Amino acid sequence: MSAPPVKEHPTDLRWIGQSMKRVEDPRLLTGRGKYIDDLTAPHVAHAAVLRSPHAHARIRKIDASKARALPGVVRVITGAEAAEQTGPLPCFANPPVAQRCIAVDRVRHVGEAVAAVVAESRYIAEDAVDLIEVEYDPLPVVVNPEDALTSSGDAVLHPERGPNNIAHQRTLTFGGYDEDLRSADVIVRRRVRWPRSGAQPMETVGAIASYDEGTGKITIHANTSMYNYVGWLVAASLQIPAHKLNIIPTIAGGSFGSKIFTHKVLVLAATLARACGRPVKYVEDRLDNMTSCDNHGSDRIYELELGLQRDGTMLAFGMKVIDDYGAYLQFGVGHHGNAAAQLTGPYRIKSARIELTAVFTNKCQQGAYRGFGSEVNNFALERIVDAAADELGISPVEIRRKNFIQPEQFPYKIPTGNVYDSGNYQAVLDKALEMADYHGWRLRQDEARAQGRYIGIGLASCQERSVFSSTEFWFWNHEPGFALTSSPESVNIKVDPTGKAFVTLYSPFWGNSPETMATQIVAEQLTIDPADIEITYADTDHGSMGTGPGGSRYTVMIAGAIAGAATEIKRKLFKIAAHFLEASERDLELREGRVAVRGTDRGMTIPEIALQAYYFRLSLPDDCNSGLDARFTYDHPYTTQPNADRTDLGVFYPIMGHMCHIPIVEVDIETGQVKYLKYVAVHDCGTVVNPMTLAGHVRGGTVQGIGSTMYEHFYYGEQGQLVTANFADYLIPTLKEAPPNIEVGHVVTPSPFTEYGIKGGGEGGRMGVPPALASAIEDALKPFGVKIDTLPITPMKIRDMIRAAQQGVH
Amino acid sequence: MEQVQVSVTVNGIRYARAVEPRRLLSDFIRHDLGLTGTHVGCEQGVCGMCTVLIDGQTARTCLTFAVQADGVEITTVEALGTPAKMHPLQRAFWEKHGLQCGYCTPAMLLTAVELLNSNPNPTRDEICEAMSAILCRCTGYQTIVDAVESAAGAMKGEAR
């Protein structure tokens, strides 16, 4: 597939671009949201899970007799018993790594499920969990990812995959990397450490599963996503045919990637329900979630190099990266594929290299968290760009300006093969500098330093790739070719006999605004009042392809799907109206809910046409059947095949957003506290559907990014214990850690390839903060020569670095 | 396990129930009374999702046993307003985009009710101080503070 045709975007928009209040909110505001734990089922039983206290051990013996004898206990199920009916969990790695909903024979991280209890109440289930006696034979524990490279013997987590703990290793080189480095005047090198943090939405993961012996069907209610894309993989794990499983979505109390599939919980709940012959409810508590969730993020050690000319022109960017994936490989090494979409950032870098080593350690497996690995690459690239500016004596602004891809160069192919559809990076930078009063603050910074105050001005200019397609999972495979998926999204629009629009989505609400987005876009397409539009979510029984939110894709994809379905509806509206009005379809127009003959007052409203369409077939044109609805599946607008040797990964993430973040902070050198004097975030997400909700994503993502930068760390001790397994130790920013005013600006460079020119903007905030805030703190502490290459940079660490510098210790 | 009688008024309705002494007030409200607008996030008193008003004061129901609530008056989000007739705070959260996933919202609203009951004219700093009791993972907090500030203004207008 070559580049798709450039779309003409309408400019006279009525609903798109409005800060419409959210359709989702009234029920959420009044406590009528119905999250997973708010649901129940007749005769439901409740599950609790016994989790491993060991990071790595063989399970020698499980004695559940006391638990089984406890009144109110329905069943106790061990891994071996679960495995009699349920196979390994879905896995997106190649070769797959066997992971089970309850461990069999061996546990590989603290918190892995060892047994599950089903009881008449959660209280009894938890009592019974404490009565299960397990004998373990501890095995050597691997915590440090660099140690994992040389693991042997019993320290190898998956001996069937090879003799060590290297999960995947591959070097990809794009362009003339070695030549470019040889021709560079300077090569800047840095070691960067990105620690493990996670999405940690306020709601954990849960499911209510039931098994109907009459029909042989399993039904699962859950706060999951991707059920209409890969839900059948849950059936495969349960070893039932796909049509014997129905997954019904509930709304989610936040996801940020963490509920992208949630297959551990789905498979566990269904396994228990089938074994008990009763509905079973399992909702993780916070400890379950923190030790065994699907949202531990990247955990990387980088050795970076950036080759430049003396004048600051960037030539080549390369990295050796070790990523600590934990005990399993749920989504393969797709996170590094994701990063390759924007490896060289907004810069005209000619060549690049990734030497990837993914390792297994005795930690919870990685999952998905807002950025999916690209936020880490942003941090690495921007840190080394700052280091280069420092070494070459160029300002952080100038080195970026000098290397930006220019507006006339789009579509622009970066060394990895991905194409950036459009952008205007200079405009974003200029707007951010102006909003921040960057130059004014430089003067104030000097004045403050003279008074012994430490003000720092940070800057990051980052990419936000949007509109995920699944290619990134597969091109790391060693097999030369593979079939390409487009990761489509569907919608069904029914205009009923009274003219109301019923819109069916095939992906869930997980804290974003799918109902509001769909309402605004349907209102735009059909000129129906938003109050006359109803949004519902389809289960898998009634589903169409829906990859769901993730990778900042949903608004773009649902806009494409709605435009497709609405076009079919309009075609029929026009055909019927032309027939009744005795006019040519070419002379008709749809305005304000009415199809009319252009330049006259003759027309029919949508309800009038719809009534005819449903009930009066014999009055319709001959080639019209009854009804007025349309289902449309929208394929990803632009993906191409990677080449066999992976010197070109093809186009896989071309809808490219961009942002510039400028935090202005003051560091208290006695306490290490960081105070925000100003925070500016300018984003270019193409055409904006709802400025209010986009700003919400930017601000919320920014505060999450502050958490990743300064406070949050899934910290595993030497024996593989997760030391920060609760909210008192794993520090999510409170209101006190958030900037009082995140000033959001937009530059609009519409995508030439998407409906209306929309680009995704769901992850942007978190993808820009870490390098921006690190540079601000580093800038504030310039007099001490402090360098920030390792996160999280807590106030205590800041203070320690200042102390070390003051004492001349490096 | 032995059960204990508890009598509690929730949103103006008196409930008499027999509960285990260990039953959490959060579970009692959510699962025994069916008032699921009160949420649970960490069950150790950090996140604040389970906040309700007990005799007008915010309390974390995951750290309270149902038996401790004997004789008290509890207000949950369900009493504030309905989609058709929202409380001024609910309207302000809607207008100012003070929520995304909505999970922390009931706790945020009740915390704001307590604040505005005791201090109808809070400064922005006072709002931040009060609202910092509850975690939110979606919004970045700024629009929550905006919403409380806006509601305070609106409620003054209505009281006049």
Q: How far apart are CA A84 and CA A225, in angstroms?
A: 27
The structural domains of chain A, with segments of one domain joined by +, span 25-32+488-634, 421-468+653-810
pTM of the model as a whole: 0.97
**CATH code reported for the domain at B88-159:** 1.10.150.120
Q: Is the pLDDT of residue B74 over 70?
A: yes
Shortest distance between the Cα of B159 and any Cα of chain A, in A, equals 22
In degrees, to the nearest 5, what angle opens at C-alpha A126 toward C-alphas A120 and A130?
130
pLDDT, residue B159, reads 66
Interface of B with A in 42-71 (CB under 8 A): 42-44, 46-47, 49
* Cβ atoms within 10 Å of A84's Cβ, excluding its own: 10
Q: How far apart are CA A409 and CA A420, in angstroms?
A: 10
Instruction: Select from A627, A764, A622, A738 the least CA-distant residue to A684.
Output: A764
The structural domains of chain B, with segments of one domain joined by +, span 4-79, 88-159
ipTM above 0.95, yes or no: yes
> pLDDT band at A780, cuts 50/70/90?
very high
Q: Which helix (H) or strand (E) holds A682?
A: strand A674-684
Interface of B with A in 73-102 (CB under 8 A): 76-78, 80-83, 86, 90, 93-95, 97, 99-102
Interface of A with B in 761-780 (CB under 8 A): 765
Q: How far apart are CA A649 and CA A352, in angstroms?
A: 12
> pLDDT band at B11, cuts 50/70/90?
very high
Q: How many residues does this entry show for chain A?
A: 810
pLDDT, residue A486, reads 87
Q: What is the largest CA-CA distance in chain A?
A: 92
Report strand pairing: A217-222 vs A245-249. Answer: parallel
- The verdict on a CB contact (< 8 Å) between B97 and A201 is no
**CATH code reported for the domain at A25-32+488-634:** 3.30.365.10
User: Quick check: B156 contacting A, CB < 8 Å?
Assistant: no
Phi, psi of A287 (to 5 degrees): -65, -45
> pLDDT band at A471, cuts 50/70/90?
confident
The reply to whether A421-468+653-810 shares the fold of A25-32+488-634 is yes
Cβ-contact A466, A685 below 8 angstroms: yes
* Cβ atoms within 10 Å of A527's Cβ, excluding its own: 18
- Placement of tokens 């690209």 in the chain: A374
Instruction: Select from A764, A693, A731, A740 the least CA-distant residue to A511.
Output: A693
Residues of B in contact with A25 (CB under 8 A): 93-94, 99, 102
Q: According to the CATH classification, is domain B4-79 in 3.10.20.30?
A: yes
- The verdict on a CB contact (< 8 Å) between A700 and B46 is no
Phi, psi of A302 (to 5 degrees): -110, 140
Residues of A in contact with B93 (CB under 8 A): 25, 29
User: Quick check: B138 contacting A, CB < 8 Å?
Assistant: yes
- The verdict on a CB contact (< 8 Å) between B46 and A726 is yes
Q: How far apart are CA B132 and CA B104, in angstroms?
A: 12
Q: What is the mean pLDDT of chain B?
A: 97
> pLDDT band at A579, cuts 50/70/90?
very high
Q: Which helix (H) or strand (E) holds A314?
A: strand A314-324
Residues of A in contact with B81 (CB under 8 A): 29-30
Tokens of A56: 């790595």
- Placement of tokens 């149902």 in the chain: B66
Mean pLDDT over A250-278 rounds to 97
Interface of A with B in 256-295 (CB under 8 A): 256, 285-286
The reply to whether B88-159 shares the fold of B4-79 is no
pLDDT in tens, A414-432: 999 999 999 999 999 999 9
Q: What is the mean pLDDT of chain A?
A: 97
Q: Is the pLDDT of residue B160 over 60?
A: no
Indicate the DSSP class of residue A8. P
- The verdict on a CB contact (< 8 Å) between B97 and A692 is yes
A208 contact partners, CB below 8 Å, separation of at least 6: A36, A39, A40, A41, A44, A220, A221, A222, A269, A279, A280, A281, A282
> pLDDT band at B31, cuts 50/70/90?
very high
Q: How many CA atoms lie within 13 A of A66 on its CB side?
A: 10
Instruction: Select from A510, A62, A459 the least CA-distant residue to A253.
Output: A510
pLDDT, residue A299, reads 98
- The separation between the first and the last C-alpha atoms of chain B, rounded to the nearest angstrom, is 53
Residue type, A280: V
Q: Is the pLDDT of residue A766 over 70?
A: yes
Q: Is the pLDDT of residue B104 over 80?
A: yes
Phi, psi of B147 (to 5 degrees): -65, -45
pLDDT in tens, B121-152: 999 999 999 999 999 999 999 999 999 999 99
- CB nearest A203 (choices: B36, B103, B132): B103
Residues of A in contact with B138 (CB under 8 A): 254, 511, 696, 700
Tokens of A687: 């055409």
Tokens of A630: 């349309």
> pLDDT band at A1, cuts 50/70/90?
low
Q: How far apart are CA A653 and CA A626, in angstroms?
A: 40
> pLDDT band at A72, cuts 50/70/90?
very high
pLDDT in tens, A22-57: 999 999 999 999 999 999 999 999 999 999 999 999
pLDDT in tens, A675-702: 999 999 999 999 999 999 999 999 999 9
Q: Is the pLDDT of residue B158 over 80?
A: no
Q: Which fold has domain A421-468+653-810?
A: Aldehyde Oxidoreductase; domain 4 (3.30.365)
Residues of B in contact with A702 (CB under 8 A): 140
Mean pLDDT over A396-416 rounds to 98
Please state, for a pLDDT cut of 90, what percent of chain B lies above it: 96
Instruction: Select from A7, A361, A379, A449 the least CA-distant residue to A193.
Output: A379
Strand partners, A504: A492, A536
Tokens of A211: 């098994």
User: Quick check: B7 contacting A, CB < 8 Å?
Assistant: no
Chain B residue nearest residue A201, CA to CA: B137
Report strand pairing: A594-597 vs A603-605. Answer: antiparallel
Strand partners, B17: B6
Indicate the DSSP class of residue A36. G
Mean pLDDT over A305-311 rounds to 98
pLDDT, residue A708, reads 98
Q: How far apart are CA A399 and CA A720, in angstroms?
A: 42
- Placement of tokens 């749809």 in the chain: A590
Mean pLDDT over B94-118 rounds to 98
Q: How many residues does this entry show for chain B?
A: 160
Three-state DSSP state, A35: strand
Indicate the DSSP class of residue B30. I
- CB nearest B142 (choices: A24, A31, A742): A742
Strand partners, A408: none
pLDDT, residue B157, reads 80
Q: Is the pLDDT of residue A810 over 70?
A: no
Q: Is the pLDDT of residue A563 over 70?
A: yes
- The separation between the first and the last C-alpha atoms of chain A, rounded to the nearest angstrom, is 54
> pLDDT band at A2, cuts 50/70/90?
confident
Cβ-contact A378, A771 below 8 angstroms: yes
> How buried is A401 (Cβ within 10 angstroms: 0-12 exposed, 13-18 middle, 19+ buried)?
middle
The sign one gets for the Cα dihedral A247, A250, A253, A254 is positive
Three-state DSSP state, B22: coil
Report strand pairing: A73-78 vs A113-119. Answer: antiparallel
Please state, for a pLDDT cut of 90, what percent of chain A lies above it: 96
> pLDDT band at A335, cuts 50/70/90?
very high
